[in-house]
Chains A and B, each alone.
Chain A
Amino acid sequence: MSDPKPPLEQIPTPDFAYVGEASYSLESEPERPAPHQRKKPVFRVGYQGKAGDIMGLHIVNLLLSIITLGIYSFWGKTRIRRYMSSHLVLGKDRFQYTGTGQELFIGWLKALIIFAPVTFGLAIPFVNFFIYPIFFGVLATAGFLALRYRLSRTRWRGIGFNMGGHAGHYLWLSIKRALLNFVTMGISIPSSDIKKWSYMAGHMRYGAQEFTYEGDHKRIFQTHIITAVIGVGLYMLWGFYFMQHAASLQMLSALEGQDPAQVTEQQRMQVEAAVHTLIWGVIIPLYGIVGVSLLARVWYTAALWREKFRGLQAGEVRFKLDITGGQLAWLQISNLLIVILTLGLASPITTHRTLRFFASHLRVGGDINSLVVKQDRVKRVSGFGDAMAADVGFDLGL
């Protein structure tokens, strides 16, 4: 039986395809060939936001948040989301974000009622043993809840996106996959990541048009293993080095509580040597290893993102995100440098760059101009999920 959906790689890029990032114009669309010869058109998502606008928005947000003791931050967040969404263009048409600051504020108040006791409970020894599962439950569903809220507030061509499914089902799936990842010592991470995305993507809709997802975790397995082995290998080397020098490091606590007047020159030199080993042999290499292993995982993240879009389909429309590990790594490193060199003042620019990066690498294959989708009854989800996600630090960066 032949596959009715050819992979996106096989969709030839037509001559009229997206011309330059700053333009959405399809004026150069050629005459349409006969249906049997017709190639599927490919569109790129354009991001037209300007760094200056973003900085201005963030400065005004900060000032208004100070004036209102932080209350304006919900409206400020909404304003930035609206700016970013409305500067994303597919075809000739802008996306729209219809969420409001009031929704986020009410969602935050609701989340506070749940989260304040959880935070307090986490600080109480023994009680926190029972609270941690709740905390990790919120953490596990944060991405699902945040995405569901934002999709329900996003429109394109006047038609809203939506995501069904149940947070409880997603949580159960996350728990099962986390246990499996633990039992398989991380071997099943790609399969878990794809399964979880599959649940979300399979419940997404654009109006009445359902999305479907058929991912293949085998395509990212090799990258996962290579990048994981790099990290684990480095940690093992570090651990080996640490064990060898553990004895000399014990000198660090040997003088604890001892009268400084009674410390001998030999002891002092031994402590100095231990401090030197601690800094140059333990701490700095550890930071280096953490950095390198995190950097290596960027290649896996890029592969996962590619796979997430490769298997995604809405009717005849398919998607392709052509990012590489190197490009994503450079984006993250340069963003980090921007934040460090400007002491965080240019951090909004990093969000802007990230969105531009993903938008400019996303292609949509299929005739979106003839795609007519009916508006569907959109389930109005509250801003509660979004607020909960923000509470556990999962804010999607927008």
Chain B
Amino acid sequence: MVTGASARYMDGKTSRVQDVTLEFYRQGLLIRGADGETLARWPYASIKIAEDWSDGIGAILVPIKDTGEQVMLDQKSILDRIMRQLDYKHRASFIIPITIPSILGLTVAAVIAALVFIPLFGKASGFIAYLVPKSMEKELGEVARSQLDMQFDACVDPAAEKLIQRILERLVAAGDQTLEPEIYLYKTPVANAFTLPGEKMAVFSGFLKVTKNENEISAVLAHELGHMAYRDPLEGFIQERGLSAVGGLIAGSGSFGGVGQVATTLHTLKFSREKELRADQYAIKTLKKAGYKVTPLADFLVSVYASVPDGARDLESKFSFLSTHPATDERIRILGGTSPATYNFKPSLAPEEFKRLKQACLFAKKPE
């Protein structure tokens, strides 16, 4: 038995603080009060460090089984002596120390984890999307469509829809024949068309208006059918939600939340770009098989690209990793480059029908 050191003891029953003496015996500590009586006997196997040493405020020892008792130590040498007797996991309040070697080791592990988990996550999302019943996907599509209805003017133009449907039938016959695309027209100057979950396709009148021929329309629709065939909107939804959940968790820890969110956003964008390229590949195959030319898709991209101001175009090439779509140059290369303005293809629409389609929504009414 060795006489020990002074410390402060709280019994967990009241907030009374007692000045005590710690005495060491072979298997643990004896806590003695001012008048020498034994207040507690703590075997080393039953205690742990609750609060690590900090200069000026010492450290706190407690029983492993929480009784509310605690001993406050203000001598580092005494703490070190006790720590040597404790089980490794009880020597500090946390197992992983904040040291340069541990941070370096964790950095390497984090990089490896990111390289392994993120591609795995992309694959897993595709698999999960495959498992989602089509009926549920349709419900999701309805939600997305109702949101779109609030942002843009939906229009009912049966004549235009019929003409689009005719092009789509030709493309579906040449590609994934199980697809049953539903068309939703919106009156807006924005030149765009995109796919929603549940085999729904939104087509903006602005897009139809700027096309120069039927092949341009079919090229863009074939690209959108690619998204539909791969269930990209649903897969994207799962990826985006999953990654944002991980980002949210990291952000929730308060530790560089922004970093976590930026990283997950960048990966969401990367997945999005991969889907665009996949849809382009689908469009190439389908257009060829349907008797359309592929190059109008590239031509259409060029015409959209040309309308972008020079500065923004420069930014797009430098910061393509921040975009949902791959750089236009890259897509044009994959699509086999551009071609002269005239194409030799067999149209499904008569010239006056194409002209009518370009005027979609112009004379239409809003849906009831």
A residues lining the B interface (CB < 8 Å): 22-24, 48, 53, 56-67, 69-74, 76-77, 79-80, 82, 86-87, 89, 92-94, 96, 98, 123-125, 155-160, 206-207, 256-257, 344-345, 347-348, 351, 369, 371-375, 390, 395, 397-398
Chain B residue numbers with a CB within 8 Å of A74 are: 253
Chain A residue numbers with a CB within 8 Å of B69 are: 158
In angstroms, Cα B244 to Cα A183, docked, is 39
B residues lining the A interface (CB < 8 Å): 8, 10-17, 50-51, 54, 56-57, 60, 66, 68-70, 72, 93-94, 96, 98, 102-103, 106-107, 109-110, 113-114, 117, 143, 146-147, 149-150, 189, 206, 245-250, 252-260
In angstroms, Cα B55 to Cα A22, docked, is 10
Chain B residue numbers with a CB within 8 Å of A59 are: 103, 255-256
Chain A residue numbers with a CB within 8 Å of B113 are: 66-67, 69
Chain B residue numbers with a CB within 8 Å of A123 are: 143, 147
> From A368, which residue of chain B is reached at the shortest CB distance?
B15
Within the complex, the shortest CB–CB distance from B143 to chain A, in Å, comes to 5
Q: Which of A77, A94, A160, A369 has the most CB of B within 10 A?
A: A94
Chain B residue numbers with a CB within 8 Å of A69 are: 113, 117, 246, 249
> From A157, which residue of chain B is reached at the shortest CB distance?
B15
Say whether A24 contacts B253, CB under 8 Å.
Answer: no
* Contact of A158 with B12 at beta-carbon distance under 8 Å, contacts A59-B103, A66-B113, A67-B109 already known: yes
Chain A residue numbers with a CB within 8 Å of B253 are: 61-62, 65, 72-74, 76-77, 80
* Contact of A124 with B146 at beta-carbon distance under 8 Å, contacts A64-B96, A158-B15 already known: yes
Interchain Cβ contacts within 8 Å, total number = 169
* Contact of A344 with B256 at beta-carbon distance under 8 Å, contacts A60-B98, A66-B250, A73-B250 already known: yes
Say whether A157 contacts B255, CB under 8 Å.
Answer: no
Which of B10, B146, B189 contacts A158, CB < 8 Å? Answer: B10
In angstroms, Cα B10 to Cα A6, docked, is 31
Say whether B57 contacts A60, CB under 8 Å.
Answer: no
List the 8 closest A-B pairs by CB distance, nearest first: A70-B249, A73-B253, A158-B10, A56-B98, A61-B255, A63-B106, A257-B189, A58-B255
Chain A residue numbers with a CB within 8 Å of B107 are: 63
Say whether A65 contacts B106, CB under 8 Å.
Answer: no
Chain B residue numbers with a CB within 8 Å of A371 are: 15
Q: Which of A63, A76, A87, A373 has the most CB of B within 10 A?
A: A63
Say whether B51 contacts A94, CB under 8 Å.
Answer: yes
Q: List 7 A-B contacts (CB under 8 A).
A: A24-B56, A58-B255, A60-B106, A70-B250, A159-B14, A371-B15, A372-B14
Say whether A94 contacts B72, CB under 8 Å.
Answer: yes
Chain A residue numbers with a CB within 8 Å of B72 are: 92-94
Within the complex, the shortest CB–CB distance from A98 to chain B, in Å, comes to 7
Chain A residue numbers with a CB within 8 Å of B257 are: 347
Say whether B110 contacts A375, CB under 8 Å.
Answer: no
In angstroms, Cα B54 to Cα A220, docked, is 39
* Contact of A56 with B103 at beta-carbon distance under 8 Å, contacts A65-B250, A73-B250 already known: yes
Say whether B15 contacts A159, CB under 8 Å.
Answer: yes
> From B114, which residue of chain A is reached at the shortest CB distance?
A66
* Contact of A375 with B117 at beta-carbon distance under 8 Å, contacts A123-B143, A158-B69 already known: no
Within the complex, the shortest CB–CB distance from A48 to chain B, in Å, comes to 5
* Contact of A82 with B260 at beta-carbon distance under 8 Å, contacts A73-B252, A351-B254, A372-B14 already known: no
Within the complex, the shortest CB–CB distance from A288 to chain B, in Å, comes to 24
Say whether A22 contacts B56, CB under 8 Å.
Answer: yes
Chain B residue numbers with a CB within 8 Å of A206 are: 15
In angstroms, Cα B247 to Cα A163, docked, is 32
Chain B residue numbers with a CB within 8 Å of A72 are: 253
Q: Which of B17, B113, B249 has the most CB of A within 10 A?
A: B249
